[in-house]
Amino acid sequence: MRHTIQRAEGYLKAEIIGDDPEKFIRLCVSEHVKIWHIVRKNETTLICFIELTNSNTLKRRLKDTNCRIHILEKEGFPFLLKKIKLRLGIVAGLLFFLMLLLILSNMVWSINIKGADSKLEEHIRSILKQNHLYEGSLDLFVPDTSKLENALSTKLTKVTWIGVSREGTTYRINVVQKKYPKPKEVTGPRNLVATKQAVIQRLFVETGQPVVENDQFVKPGQVLVSGIIGNEKSSRFVSAKGTVIGETWYRSEAQIPLLSRYTTYSGADYHKYQLKLWNLRVPLWGFDKEPFKHYDRETLRKPIRFLIWQTPFVWIQENDRQKRIATRKLTVNQAIADAVESSDKKLLDSLPKESKIINTAVDYKKVVKNSVYIRTHQVVHENIAAARAIDVKKEEKKLKAKNEE
Amino acid sequence: MRKWSAHLKKWFAEVSDIPEDVVLGSPRLTLIGQFRLSIENYRGVLAFSKTELKLAMNKGELHIAGDDFVLETILEREIVLQGRVDDVRFVDE
């Protein structure tokens, strides 16, 4: 109907009953009360639509014109509002239901972890929980999948590869666990041979016949502890065991800048939460645009879903972390000490455990373009013994030939 | 005096090319087909029924006869009637 579209305010459909209902209409028109679609029903009655006004003024008008009113219908916004008020429970329930559906649509329903044993799975779940990801958590607060992957791979050492993906309300985590090959042990008869060129310092032999002495110079591959024991007439093969500490030498180079700039996080951060609708950003929390002078910004965007659809709303979480830019100035001596330390550390990382640097000597130093360049050599005490199997048949033949001679 | 001003208004309407209904306040009737009649510059509704509408004008009355009459809109200066219009008549009293 035409009037429902045109009128937001309320109106009545009513019968005006009286001897002269036209009088009522004249009065309404003169008082600028809107009245329309008038139909004559019978001698005394007119049916019309009349704008909703104060009921007292309406009564006065009726009294003045000796008319009665019989209301047929009540329409328009004020009556709608009244109806809604009557059904407030239903409306609230509906809204609550929609809210619930919205929340449930943005919830993490399950986390599938594939390829991990139960112990690792539990560990992964505990790490995920620290990153706000668990069954029943809101997806809005869960970081990006790439960030999750980073967090997992830095904390898990037993894992070669980890992949995190999201499918709707399910997170899938694929894990490839490291499988170490079982260390091959030479269990049969074996010798201990030198791995490096060195000067023997100490010998600790559990089984076998040492064939080198202290302060002897050995070349790589040279037998240190023999697995053949006994004399020439009756010999036995054993698995030689022990450690041989040898003195070795290394050369290394290092370069350290005298002036270096580096940035550190001060620990202060600023969180911002925003709701984006198309291009409009509505800040919900955190209204500072530039909270710090120097900062790194992390942004997390999560489109809000409703059942299977994506709503135009996007949840944006920004984390500004304060940065401090500092410069470090070193004197030449400090720089050399630093360089020596770093070269020692680098060397020790490449050597077997329990190696010791006995002495570090700086052979050469130079200051080039604000950085110190040094060349050093280090004297190291380390285990140089490595097991090598004895070819028993060959050795027996050799021994036989020797005996026959 | 009143007659004189009416003459002046009529003269002004003729000279200035502004329509008479604006200047003189004389009724302006617009009939669309047979089913819709709008009347401007009326004074008041005297009687209304399904077959008849009587309006008070500046001078005299306007009687409209027909069938299935509905007063679609009533404003202070304009009235719109819907229904089958058979007869429009000015009545002097």
Average pLDDT over residues A378-405: 81
pLDDT of A5: 46
Q: Is the pLDDT of residue A43 over 60?
A: yes
Shortest alpha-carbon distance between residue A288 and chain B (Å):
57
A309 and A271 in contact (C-beta within 8 Å)?
no
Helices A55-64 and A21-30 cross at an angle (nearest 10°) of 130
pLDDT of B20: 72
Give the bridge partners for A14, in sequence order.
A48, A71
* Both tokens assigned to A396: 């027996």
Q: How many CA atoms lie within 13 A of B53 on its CB side?
A: 30
pLDDT of A261: 83
pLDDT of A351: 85
Average pLDDT over residues B12-34: 81
Q: pTM higher than 0.90 for the full model?
A: no
Q: Is the pLDDT of residue B40 over 80?
A: yes
Q: Which CATH number fits domain A2-81: 3.30.70.260, 3.40.1000.10, 3.90.230.10, 3.40.50.720?
A: 3.30.70.260
Using CA of residue A290, residue A291, residue A295, residue A301, what is the dihedral sign? negative
Using an 8 Å CB-CB cutoff, list chain A residues near B49: 40
Q: Do A36 and B71 touch (CB under 8 A)?
A: yes
Positions of E strands within A29-169? 35-42, 45-51, 67-75, 110-114, 159-167
Of A236-245, A263-272, B19-28, B39-48, which one has max mean pLDDT?
B39-48
Q: Which fold has domain A110-177?
A: Ubiquitin-like (UB roll) (3.10.20)
pLDDT of A8: 63
SS3 B61: strand
Confidence of residue A331 (pLDDT cuts 50, 70, 90): confident
Q: Do B49 and A40 touch (CB under 8 A)?
A: yes
What is the C-alpha to C-alpha distance for residues A21 and A40, in angstroms, rounded to an integer?
10
Domain extents for chain A? 2-81, 110-177, 190-242+386-404, 252-259+329-382, 261-328
What domains are defined for chain B? 26-91 (2.60.40.2000)
Q: Is the pLDDT of residue A186 over 70?
A: no
Average pLDDT over residues A56-63: 88
Long-range contacts of A123-128 (CB under 8 A, 24+ apart): A123/A156, A124/A152, A124/A156, A124/A173, A124/A175, A127/A151, A127/A152, A127/A155, A127/A156, A128/A152, A128/A173
Shortest alpha-carbon distance between residue B7 and chain A (Å):
29
Q: Which of A183-192, A386-395, B50-59 is the least confident region?
A: A183-192
Whether the ipTM is more than 0.95: the answer is no
A313 and A277 in contact (C-beta within 8 Å)?
yes
Shortest alpha-carbon distance between residue B14 and chain A (Å):
32
